[in-house]
Amino acid sequence: MTNKKINSIAEDLAQEKISRSRSARATSKDDLMDFDDFVARTPKKSGSKMWIFILLIIIILALAGGLLFFSKDKLVKETRFKTVVLDTGQVYFAKVAKEDALNIFLSDVYYIQTEQQVIPATEEDGEDEVKEVPVLIKRGQELHQPSGWMQVNRDKVVSIEEIGANSEILKEIERQAQLPAATNQ
């Protein structure tokens, strides 16, 4: 083939390519017009937003119900006395008012303290007898008069047990609760 013929074929191909790109641009302009029409349209009124709103309300109610159900035990203040034993050997008799991940909060706290009691001699020549007597003390009657809940680090607690209904400790706590505040030991 001659150069003229090759050049002619190349020119034809170039012209065809140019006309295709122009028609593609025209098509994309038409597409853009369709897009502009699409954007300018007002959306159809559908219930999709309403369904999302209803679903959101249902999820919130389910979460709140689950939270109340699983934390119900922690919301109710304990009304029974428990024995709380610490790793130091100290024993408290109290109501568990509140618990969290790090601490246990006790209310109406009692503990046993031993006091020396002198028993006078029955004979003239006899000596007085000194005896160690356990005494139940209500927290708050110490020199520094603590008030409010007693906070105990959960790591220091060895055990927590419910006090039996017929326990001598519980009977003494009830007896002290009935006494006027000035005579409580």
pLDDT digits (tens, 9 = 90+) for 93-111: 999 988 888 999 999 999 9
Whether the Cβ atoms of residue 121 and residue 128 lie closer than 8 Å to each other: yes
> Minimum mean pLDDT among 10-19, 23-32, 66-75: which range?
23-32
**What is the overall mean pLDDT for the chain?**
80
- Which comes out higher in pLDDT, residue 147 or 32? 147
Instruction: Name all domains of the chain by residue range, CATH numbers in brackets.
Output: 3-70 (no CATH), 77-178 (2.30.30.100)
* pLDDT band, residue 150 (cuts 50/70/90): very high
* pLDDT band, residue 52 (cuts 50/70/90): confident
pLDDT on residue 29? 53
pLDDT on residue 21? 63
Rg (CA), the chain: 43
**How buried is residue 86: exposed, middle or buried, by Cβ count under 10 Å (0-12/13-18/19+)?**
middle
- C-alpha distances in Å from residue 61, one per residue of 50, 51, 55, 58, 69: 17, 15, 10, 5, 12
How would you classify residue 12: left for phi > 0, otherwise alpha for psi between -120 and 50, otherwise beta?
alpha
| pLDDT above 90: percentage of residues in the chain | 28
Distance CA(103)–CA(100), nearest Å, equals: 5
Would the pLDDT of 146 be above 80? yes
